[in-house]
Structure 1
Amino acid sequence: MKEALQKLGIGSMLALSAALPTRAQQNAPDKHVIVLDQAWSQEDRDWYDHFSQGSAVLAYDLFLNLEAADSQDLFRSGLHDPRYGLILAAASPSNPDGLPIGISKTTVATPIKGWPAGDYAGPTCAACHQGHLRYKGQLIRIEGGVSDTVDFQGLVRGVDGALRATLTDPAKFDRLAARLGAATPEAKDKLRNRVESEAVRVHDYADRTSVTPHSWGPGRMDALTMIVDRTTATLAGIPENWSSGIAPVKPPFLWNAPQGLWTQWSAFAQDPIARNFGETMGVFLPVDLSSKTPAEGLFQSNAALLELQRVEGMLDRLAPPSWPEDVLGRIDRDKAKAGKALFAENCAGCHNMWPYRMTEPNKFGKQFVLVGLTPQTDVGTDKAQFEALRPVAITGELSKFLPPEFRDKPLLPPFVFSTVLGVVVREVAERKLKLTEAAEADLHGYRERSTARPPEHVYKAAPREGVWATAPFLHNASVPNLYEMLLPAAERTKKFYLGGDFDPVKVGLDTKAQSGSFLIDTTLVGNSNSGHSFQNGPRGDGVVGPLLTDEQRWALVEYLKSIPEMPGRITPFAGPPERRAAQD
């Protein structure tokens, strides 16, 4: 099975000076937003916040004019509410309708089964991969960071509720019709039919794909299960393939991701276009997986491959954020130096340190940052991600059109089935681009797709530059701050609020504060804060280091605040200058 996957190029799938950071408040949409030096221009930020990745949730005119389920206010006017958590953005030439960060206008140029041609509203990368730290009434913007306020589950249910209320409340529907200029009975009937069709698509996602035994809360989602469910169950029309999303994770930060050998929490992806396209498959990309044959539209999609390539290129030059000392307090450099030595001794075996250890050059001359891969049984963190999917998936009529290695197989592992479907859909879209060999290699990030064998049941341990800005911690956001990451796991806080104010002392969320919008309970399935424990005893089975003194913990926290040591430093693919010089 693994050999077949490698032939398909999906082996790499399995599995954003000592000077202070730049203050660019004059370029921010809100005067209270502090923008750090991450090597992006304002033009970069504006594009990233609203570019289309091809996803289409709701017809654009409906999105602009739909009322909230419980009021006559427009649904879009409340998207900053804690129930949904999006960050508002001012109207501008690049965002004429004043969409919040992470929402874009998408055009479906050619009809895809279930999606008529037209303009739609849909999510894009920044919805989940754009961070804002709240501190003393100010927002510190973290490009490519972790959104700890966006409740994707709540957002989908909010759209679903608004659509259903519009269809069942005559007064709501009449107000929508008036806004859209549908005055005659015929025009109203046509509008109702359109809203009903849109509502089915959204309701399927809200009522099946994002159904879970308990709410994930803001900044967390079981993205992997949602992708697999949507492709193998909803779009394929095989409801028996559904699995419950019991393994919520926080969106990983994006700086150094293109340069890293592996991405995703369980290290199943290398090829950037495969990774980015797979994400769109999970969040409303129009895809036809139910037509009878390719001639009838099977495997057609609204793929935006060149836009996904452009955003990957932007991430290539995204620097990790440096601690803003003029806002959050001065760094004790002596303490940070002691912490650096402790990190090198206790953490660098998994978490690569600058100047990074790199792979050998591949056939394209590219080198990548080595990323630690730690078996779950060793690190001991929550294992629900490896248990969420059902054992097998039914392939149904789709089996006739799969690549030879998988053709006519009635059952496949769900992740394999979903991955193969994604590859077929993406390759159909790639063929339309008619790329040269060089352009194809660029699209795939100069990765050797046929050689990498994905690890199993491991968690990624990436470099820690900028990690200070990405609380809460662990892959499932179950540890509130960096200080608690250095404690024995049994001593960590079991319940705390997500989406609250930033604590610059323990670096993360204040466990005593109630300013957040959602109380996470780490005793629930998928929420465990076990593992990655510093305590006495042999290594493994959740223990990753020795019991630390409080002085050592604070030194390590200070070091993690201090990296990257140079603001705006972008990681090159061929390694840092000093390492390249040594190789030459």
Structure 2
Amino acid sequence: MKPAALARIALMSTTFTLLPAAVQVATTAFAQSDPVIYLNQAWSQDDRDWYYHFSQGSAVLSYDIFLHLEVAGGQELFRSDANSERYGLISQPPGSPYNPDGLPIGIGKTTVATPIGDWPVGDYAGPTCAFCHETQLNYKGKHVRIDGAPANMLDLQAYVQALNAALRATLTDAAKFDRLATRLGATSPEAKVTLRERLERQAALTYDYATRSTASPWPWGPARIDALTLINTRMTATLPGIPENTSTPVAPAKPPFLWNAPQGLWTQWSGVVQDPLARNLGETMGVYMPINLRAKTPADGLFESNAHIPELIRVEHQLERLAPPSWPEDVFGKIDREKAKSGKALFVEHCASCHNAWPYRWTEPNKYGKRFVVVGLTPQSYVGTDPTQALAIRPFAVTGPLNNILPPELRGKDAVPMAAFKESIGHAIIGRAVEKLKMTPAEFLDANGYRELPPPPAPDRVYKAAPRDGVWATAPFLHNGGVPNLYEMLVPASERSKKFCVGREFDPIKVGLDVTCGPGTFVLDTSLLGNSNAGHSFQDGPRGNGVIGPLLTDEQRWALVEYLKSIPEEPGRVTPFGGPPETP
């Protein structure tokens, strides 16, 4: 692992301390009390730096505007470390070649090389994969960085609303606008007019995102995003200008962890995707990637996008060699290996039939010779967890101006099934982007992760049960984050916390979030729609309808917690992509 010094101050001379295989700590001479601790996940520092800030094609605001925009209620810069951390982003100092301006993790620069619909040529700031898939666990002043884990502090909904407020305030407050213009060197009346027009056009996109796409009856809070609904609304309602297709995002879920995702048979909580190109490009379609869905025909630019496919292929390959994180005993305490051994036996007995365990069960080789980790797909009716994700997106779509350019089976119809409408739009966008690259068949196969196309039909109303290696670092739990720690995952559902505070400190005892209420915490009410923490219950009674295991003794629960802390048992262990070298 390449050493580098990272702290929330200016880049300074690096010192490094080598610790056990699971841990490396980066410090500076002036930040010894505030280190960033990296675990051995088989990535170099360059891997991390690129992942934190690479361009996936998303364009929120012109880069120069984002650098100099003020918050709504003052003169602090919106991109400042303090404001970024206010909404759960992880600040980074300048110094990395991928982040010369010191933006927080998950925000990078993207270039729109040719005009696409409402997006002119230029450099823009936009989110990357790491925006939602990077975690920092804070404990007693120490900060443990987990690459590829769900963003446990990010409040995306609040961040978008704050960005919208900042843009609206800049457009209505003459002094605030003038300060922005001065920072950008727009001093002449003509330059100010041009800047205002640019700002108004871009602010409209975030206004729509804040007041329509992310508008929900109650706030999601940190660590939760209704990503599937956001993607669907942007592709079927916002971009083509068909507001009737808007769905209200009432099914927030925590972003899944990314280690073993390329190796797994299915991804997403609802087990709907196999092809990584569709998965990764579909994500960017939901977060500000410029796409033209207003032109009349493909010849006029319809389905043109700012897809950065080579970068998405690179990140997928990089994720193929991302190891699940091992528990850092020097930070969170020693693992009781005897207790973990007992927990392993309990896991094999009660959990492994759904949650695959190392060295994993694998599929048979496909026609390309690739095998994939079997991912359990448990019917929602059996596991009994919150069903809202399957109900949030409206079932039918109005086809509007896209009526006559859809596939033959949908063409000419005023309303069609929503899933088919979204899928046809997505295929057209991906097809146009791939065609521009003039990929060879071998390159296209690699981009699709050696999956057989077309993929099998997605299963209906299931929840993914992936291997649990590294799960200790991914609180809160259940797909919707309705359970604060691993211990509560092992009790009868009726005994779980019905309301709890989502804080920023890690709890290494119950393994999850510290639920102590205080300034900066968010109260999660599990009685609200989309927030239920029912199901996945260990209790007496027949299996099914939410009961997935027997009532455990407290000793058994703690043994299982200890086992889950202990996996992966080998720090830096990467799951081989395509299957083990020696297949049975």
TM-score of the two chains, using structure 1 as the length reference: 0.94
2:311 alignment partner AA: E
> In structure 2, what is the Cα distance between the partners aligned to 1:77 and 1:372?
42
Equivalent position of 1:24 in the other structure: 25
Equivalent positions of 1:92-171 (< 5 A) are: 92=95, 93-171=97-175
> In structure 2, what is the Cα distance between the partners aligned to 1:127 and 1:409?
38
Q: Judge conservation of contact 1:369–1:573 (CA < 8 Å) in 2.
A: no
Equivalent position of 1:520 in the other structure: 524
Q: Judge conservation of contact 1:80–1:88 (CA < 8 Å) in 2.
A: no
1:314 aligned counterpart, secondary structure: helix
Which residues of structure 2 form unaligned runs of 5+?
Answer: 1-18
Q: Residues 280 and 29 from structure 1, CA distance in 2 versus in 1: closer, same or farther, beyond 3 angstroms?
A: farther
- The answer to whether 1:199 aligns with 2:203 is yes
Q: How many residues align?
A: 563
- Report the alpha carbon displacement of residue 19 of structure 1 after superposing the two structures with TM: 5.4
- Report the alpha carbon displacement of residue 406 of structure 1 after superposing the two structures with TM: 2.4
Equivalent position of 1:190 in the other structure: 194
Equivalent position of 2:297 in the other structure: 293
Question: Which of these residues, 433, 444, 460, is aligned with residue 437 of structure 2?
Answer: 433
Q: Residues 61 and 19 from structure 1, CA distance in 2 versus in 1: closer, same or farther, beyond 3 angstroms?
A: closer
1:460 aligned counterpart, secondary structure: strand
- Report the alpha carbon displacement of residue 32 of structure 1 after superposing the two structures with TM: 1.3
1:326-366 C-alpha deviation (Å, 9 max, x unpaired): 11111111110110000000000100011100000001110
Judge which range, 200-209 or 315-324, deviates more: 200-209
- Report the alpha carbon displacement of residue 178 of structure 1 after superposing the two structures with TM: 1.1
> In structure 1, what is the Cα distance between the partners aligned to 2:350 and 2:194?
65
- Report the alpha carbon displacement of residue 20 of structure 1 after superposing the two structures with TM: 4.1
- The answer to whether 1:489 aligns with 2:490 is no
Equivalent position of 1:307 in the other structure: 311
Q: Residues 27 and 568 from structure 1, CA distance in 2 versus in 1: closer, same or farther, beyond 3 angstroms?
A: farther
Equivalent position of 2:42 in the other structure: 39
Equivalent position of 2:59 in the other structure: 56
- Report the alpha carbon displacement of residue 33 of structure 1 after superposing the two structures with TM: 0.8
Q: Judge conservation of contact 1:497–1:516 (CA < 8 Å) in 2.
A: no
Q: Residues 519 and 336 from structure 1, CA distance in 2 versus in 1: closer, same or farther, beyond 3 angstroms?
A: same
Q: Judge conservation of contact 2:233–2:245 (CA < 8 Å) in 1.
A: yes
> In structure 2, what is the Cα distance between the partners aligned to 1:451 and 1:264?
15
Q: Judge conservation of contact 2:240–2:401 (CA < 8 Å) in 1.
A: no
Q: Residues 29 and 165 from structure 1, CA distance in 2 versus in 1: closer, same or farther, beyond 3 angstroms?
A: farther
Equivalent position of 1:12 in the other structure: none
- Report the alpha carbon displacement of residue 27 of structure 1 after superposing the two structures with TM: 9.2
Q: Judge conservation of contact 1:148–1:498 (CA < 8 Å) in 2.
A: no
> In structure 1, what is the Cα distance between the partners aligned to 2:113 and 2:28?
33
2:180 aligned counterpart, secondary structure: helix
- The answer to whether 1:377 aligns with 2:381 is yes
Q: Residues 27 and 440 from structure 1, CA distance in 2 versus in 1: closer, same or farther, beyond 3 angstroms?
A: farther
> In structure 2, what is the Cα distance between the partners aligned to 1:470 and 1:334?
24
> In structure 1, what is the Cα distance between the partners aligned to 2:109 and 2:419?
30
Equivalent positions of 1:395-406 (< 5 A) are: 395-406=399-410
1:176 aligned counterpart, secondary structure: helix
- Report the alpha carbon displacement of residue 576 of structure 1 after superposing the two structures with TM: 4.0
Equivalent position of 2:8 in the other structure: none
- The answer to whether 1:226 aligns with 2:226 is no
Equivalent position of 1:359 in the other structure: 363
1:23 aligned counterpart, secondary structure: strand
> In structure 1, what is the Cα distance between the partners aligned to 2:178 and 2:290?
29
Equivalent position of 1:505 in the other structure: 509
Q: Residues 28 and 250 from structure 1, CA distance in 2 versus in 1: closer, same or farther, beyond 3 angstroms?
A: farther
> In structure 1, what is the Cα distance between the partners aligned to 2:503 and 2:417?
36
> In structure 2, what is the Cα distance between the partners aligned to 1:451 and 1:219?
30
- Report the alpha carbon displacement of residue 183 of structure 1 after superposing the two structures with TM: 1.5
Q: Residues 37 and 559 from structure 1, CA distance in 2 versus in 1: closer, same or farther, beyond 3 angstroms?
A: same
1:299 alignment partner AA: F
1:23 alignment partner AA: Q
2:220 alignment partner AA: W
Q: Residues 46 and 28 from structure 1, CA distance in 2 versus in 1: closer, same or farther, beyond 3 angstroms?
A: farther
Q: Judge conservation of contact 2:526–2:532 (CA < 8 Å) in 1.
A: yes
Equivalent position of 1:10 in the other structure: none
> In structure 1, what is the Cα distance between the partners aligned to 2:536 and 2:290?
40
Judge which range, 166-175 or 479-488, deviates more: 166-175
Q: Judge conservation of contact 1:501–1:515 (CA < 8 Å) in 2.
A: no
1:3-29 C-alpha deviation (Å, 9 max, x unpaired): xxxxxxxxxxxxxxx954131325999
Q: Judge conservation of contact 1:320–1:570 (CA < 8 Å) in 2.
A: yes
Question: Which of these residues, 542, 567, 574, is aligned with residue 570 of structure 1?
Answer: 574
1:24 alignment partner AA: V
Equivalent position of 1:242 in the other structure: 246
Q: Residues 382 and 29 from structure 1, CA distance in 2 versus in 1: closer, same or farther, beyond 3 angstroms?
A: farther
1:24 aligned counterpart, secondary structure: strand
Equivalent position of 1:327 in the other structure: 331
Judge which range, 403-412 or 454-463, deviates more: 403-412
2:315 alignment partner AA: V
2:143 alignment partner AA: L
1:438-488 C-alpha deviation (Å, 9 max, x unpaired): 111000000002252210000000000000000110000010000000000
> In structure 2, what is the Cα distance between the partners aligned to 1:315 and 1:102?
16
2:555 alignment partner AA: E
Q: Judge conservation of contact 1:497–1:515 (CA < 8 Å) in 2.
A: no
> In structure 1, what is the Cα distance between the partners aligned to 2:82 and 2:59?
17
1:139 alignment partner AA: H
Question: Which of these residues, 74, 77, 87, is aligned with residue 77 of structure 2?
Answer: 74
2:26 alignment partner AA: Q
Question: Which of these residues, 278, 281, 288, is aligned with residue 285 of structure 2?
Answer: 281
2:198 aligned counterpart, secondary structure: helix
Q: Judge conservation of contact 2:84–2:91 (CA < 8 Å) in 1.
A: no
- Report the alpha carbon displacement of residue 516 of structure 1 after superposing the two structures with TM: 5.3
Q: Judge conservation of contact 1:241–1:393 (CA < 8 Å) in 2.
A: yes
Judge which range, 339-348 or 77-86, deviates more: 77-86
> In structure 2, what is the Cα distance between the partners aligned to 1:154 and 1:29?
33
Which residues of structure 1 form unaligned runs of 5+?
Answer: 1-17
Question: Which of these residues, 390, 393, 396, is aligned with residue 394 of structure 2?
Answer: 390
Q: Larger relative CO (CA 8 A, sep 6+): 1 or 2?
A: 1
Q: Judge conservation of contact 1:20–1:325 (CA < 8 Å) in 2.
A: no
Q: Judge conservation of contact 2:60–2:125 (CA < 8 Å) in 1.
A: yes
> In structure 1, what is the Cα distance between the partners aligned to 2:539 and 2:420?
38
- Report the alpha carbon displacement of residue 427 of structure 1 after superposing the two structures with TM: 0.5
- Report the alpha carbon displacement of residue 62 of structure 1 after superposing the two structures with TM: 0.7
Q: Judge conservation of contact 2:502–2:515 (CA < 8 Å) in 1.
A: no
Q: Judge conservation of contact 1:68–1:75 (CA < 8 Å) in 2.
A: yes
> In structure 1, what is the Cα distance between the partners aligned to 2:578 and 2:439?
25
- The answer to whether 1:542 aligns with 2:543 is no
TM-score of the two chains, using structure 2 as the length reference: 0.94
